[in-house]
């Protein structure tokens, strides 16, 4: 998990600062669509992974966080489940004490049934939880959950959290063609969402190279129909389009290291990198070629686009 920043928190946005609070791919799920690859350690046990003081120092010393830049959020995101870190509440409170920047948490919701987890993320200004399934069978197929996790507990936990939470809650639903997109299941999801009452719903599908090749995207027309079914305050996430604002005046440092930090968080296109780093796509060509030759990153073709991943 890494901190990222961007205009709107989402699993696709932001430039990674490379500040980890859990080891890479330590997660409660092994989602078929995950853009970060297969889970290497599946667990539902919360732990202290890194000293809280070290994490806060790393944020303090990071370029974007120390220049009074107009960042929209400090976001907990990346390649694992952040609420597995049992110190996340202390980290959030520390960030809010020290920086006048809103804090967002992107979570897969799997531990939200734990009252302590709900208390830990309560100070965040925005929480973006996921709900990809409304029944256990579909949950196991699309998210390949840890055996101890039940989707009915997740839904109940989200309902309880929404009742007490005073910040904004945007619920994300990832739809995978042929797995969790049947009419019956989408209707069941809509019923669950109505019970949870989030501020917004974000519909998403597979737009980056997934962990499993059989994970296929929904068409935009299908997503539009589902959007109509869910009703007001339902958005369709941009399908492979960059939503990262230009931070050219804020970002300084070695271009190769900035590219590597971004690629480490998620597969990205050259345009994604250009938007994140605030430079023209052509200016990135030499740096990308050099990193590919050095076998530090690799190009991957998916859905008619070229993405860059860690080699």
Domain at 297, CATH number: 1.10.10.10
- The answer to whether position 108 is within a domain reads yes
pLDDT of residue 246: 38
Give the list of residues 6+ apart from residue 272 with CB closer than 8 angstroms, or none. 242, 244, 262
Mind giving me the DSSP string for 162-222?
Answer: HHH--SEEEEEEEE-BTTS--HHHHHHHHHHHHHH--SEEEEEE--S--SSTT-BPPPHHH
pLDDT of residue 311: 79
Q: Are strands 103-107 and 126-129 parallel, antiparallel or unpaired?
A: parallel
pLDDT of residue 243: 38
Which of 176, 205, 236 is at the close of a domain? 236
pLDDT of residue 105: 94
pLDDT of residue 254: 60
Q: Is 267 exposed, middle or buried (0-12, 13-18, 19+ CB in 10 A)?
A: buried
- The answer to whether position 51 is within a domain reads yes
- The answer to whether position 250 is within a domain reads no
Tell whether 268 and 150 lie within a shared domain. no
pLDDT of residue 286: 80
- The answer to whether position 119 is within a domain reads yes
pLDDT of residue 238: 55
Tell whether 23 and 105 lie within a shared domain. yes
Tell whether 130 and 230 lie within a shared domain. yes
- The answer to whether position 248 is within a domain reads no
- The answer to whether position 149 is within a domain reads yes
Give the list of residues 6+ apart from residue 68 with CB closer than 8 angstroms, or none. none
- The answer to whether position 289 is within a domain reads yes
pTM of the model: 0.77
Q: What is the CATH number of the domain that holds 212?
A: 3.20.20.70
Total count of domains within the chain:
2
Domain that holds residue 149: 2-236
- The answer to whether position 59 is within a domain reads yes
Tokens of 21: 């609070």
Tell whether 187 and 294 lie within a shared domain. no
Q: Are 9 and 241 in contact (CB under 8 A)?
A: no
Tell whether 284 and 208 lie within a shared domain. no
pLDDT tens sequence for the chain (311 residues): 444 444 444 444 344 456 788 888 899 999 999 988 899 999 999 999 999 999 998 888 875 544 555 567 888 886 789 999 999 999 999 999 988 889 999 999 999 999 999 999 999 999 999 999 999 999 999 999 999 999 999 999 999 999 999 999 999 999 999 999 999 999 999 999 999 999 999 999 998 889 999 999 999 889 998 998 898 899 998 554 433 333 333 334 466 777 776 776 667 788 777 776 666 667 788 888 888 888 888 888 887 788 888 87
């Amino acid at each position: 998990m890494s901190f990222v920043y961007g205009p709107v928190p989402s699993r696709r946005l932001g430039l990674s600062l490379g500040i980890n609070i859990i080891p890479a791919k330590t997660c409660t799920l092994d989602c078929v669509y995950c853009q970060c690859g297969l889970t290497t350690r599946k667990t539902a046990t919360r732990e202290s992974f890194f000293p809280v003081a070290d994490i806060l120092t790393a944020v303090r010393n990071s370029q974007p966080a120390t220049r009074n830049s107009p960042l929209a959020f400090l976001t907990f995101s990346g390649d694992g489940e952040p609420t597995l870190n049992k110190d996340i509440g202390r980290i959030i409170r520390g960030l809010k004490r020290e920086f006048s920047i809103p804090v967002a948490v992107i979570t897969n919701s799997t531990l939200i049934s734990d009252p302590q987890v709900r208390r830990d993320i309560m100070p965040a200004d925005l929480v973006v939880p996921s709900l990809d399934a409304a029944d256990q069978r579909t949950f196991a197929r699309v998210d390949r959950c840890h055996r101890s996790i039940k989707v009915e507990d997740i839904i109940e936990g989200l309902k309880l959290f929404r009742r007490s939470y005073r910040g904004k809650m945007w619920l994300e639903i990832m739809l995978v063609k042929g797995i969790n997109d049947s009419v019956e299941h989408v209707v069941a999801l809509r019923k669950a969402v109505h019970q949870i009452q989030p501020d917004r719903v974000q519909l998403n599908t597979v737009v980056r190279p997934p962990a499993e090749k059989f994970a296929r995207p929904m068409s935009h027309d299908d997503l539009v129909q589902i959007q109509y079914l869910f009703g007001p305050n339902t958005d369709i996430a941009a399908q492979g389009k960059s939503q990262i604002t230009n931070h050219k005046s804020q970002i300084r440092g070695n271009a190769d290291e900035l590219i590597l930090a971004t690629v480490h968080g998620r597969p990205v296109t050259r345009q994604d990198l250009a938007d994140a780093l605030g430079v023209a796509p052509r200016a990135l060509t030499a740096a990308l070629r050099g990193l590919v030759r050095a076998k530090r990153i690799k190009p991957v073709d998916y859905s008619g686009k070229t993405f860059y991943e860690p080699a």
